[in-house]
Amino acid sequence: MSATARPSEMVPGLGRRIGSLRSERRWALWTAYISLIIAAVVMLAPPLYMLLTSIKTSAEIADPSGNPWLVLNPTWENYAGIIGNPMFRGFFYNSIILTVCVVVITMVISVLAAFALARMKFFGSQVLATGVFLTYLVPDTLLFIPLYQIVGGLGLLNSIWGLVLVYPTLTVPFCTWIMIGYFASIPKELDEAALIDGANWMQMLTKIFIPVALPGIIAATIFAFTVSWAAFVYPTAFITRPDEMPLTIGVVSQLIRGDTFAWGQLMAGALIAALPPVVVYAFLMDYYIAGLTAGATKG
Partner 1 sequence: MAPDSSAAVLAARPAAAPARGSAMKRFARRRSTIAFLMTLPLITVIGGLVAWPAGYAIYLATLNRRQTAFIGLENFDILLESETFRSVIWQSCFFAITAVLLKALVGFWLAHMLHHIPAKGQKIWRGMLLVPWVIPPALSTLGWWWMFDPSYSSINYLINAIGFPSVPWLGEPWWARISVIIVNVWYGAPFFMIMYLAALKSVPDQLYEAAAIDGATGWQGLRHITLPMMQNIISITVLFSLIVTFANYDIVRVLTNGGPRDLTQVFASYAFQVGVLSGNIPRGAAVSLFMFPLLAIIAYFVLRGVNKRNQEMA
Residue 23 CB-half CA count within 13 A: 4
Nearer to partner 1, 50 or 83 (CB): 50
How far apart CA 211 and CA 231 sit, in angstroms, is 30
Q: Does 102 bind partner 1 (CB under 8 A)?
A: no
Give a three-class secondary structure readout of 63-98: CCCCCCCCCCCCCCHHHHHHHCCHHHHHHHHHHHHH
Contact mark string toward partner 1, 31..70, x via CB under 8 A? xxx-xx--xx-xxx-xx-xx--x-------x--x--xxx-
Which one among 134, 154, 214, 242 touches partner 1, defined by CB under 8 A? 134
To the nearest whole angstrom, how small is the minimum distance from the Cβ of residue 84 to partner 1?
20
Piece of the chain touching partner 1 by CB under 8 A; list 22-30, 71-79, 80-88, 213-221: 22-30
3-state secondary structure 223-287: HHHHHHHHCCHHHHHHCCCHHHCCHHHHHHHHCCCCCCCCHHHHHHHHHHHHHHHHHHHHHHHHH
Window 154 to 193, contacts with partner 1 (CB under 8 A): 165-166, 168-169, 172-173, 176, 189-190, 192-193
CA distances from 247 to 198, 259, 274, 277 (A): 48, 22, 9, 12
> Cβ of residue 14: shortest distance to partner 1, in angstroms?
10
Q: Please list every residue from 229 through 288 that binds partner 1, using CB under 8 A.
A: 229-230, 232-233, 236-237, 248-249, 251-252, 263, 266-267, 270-271, 273-274, 277-278, 281-282, 285
Q: Is residue 79 near partner 1 by the rule CB under 8 A?
A: no
DSSP-derived 3-state class of residue 189 = helix
Part in contact with partner 1 (CB under 8 A); list of ranges 71-79, 82-90, 104-112, 213-221: 104-112
Helix, strand, or coil (residue 180): helix
Window contacting partner 1 (CB under 8 A); options: 27-35, 74-82, 85-93, 96-104: 27-35
- Of 210, 251, 208, which Cα lies nearest the Cα of 89? 251
The number of residues that bind partner 1 (CB under 8 A) is 104
Radius of gyration for the chain, computed over Cα atoms and rounded to the nearest angstrom: 26
Shortest separation between residue 161's beta carbon and partner 1, angstroms? 14
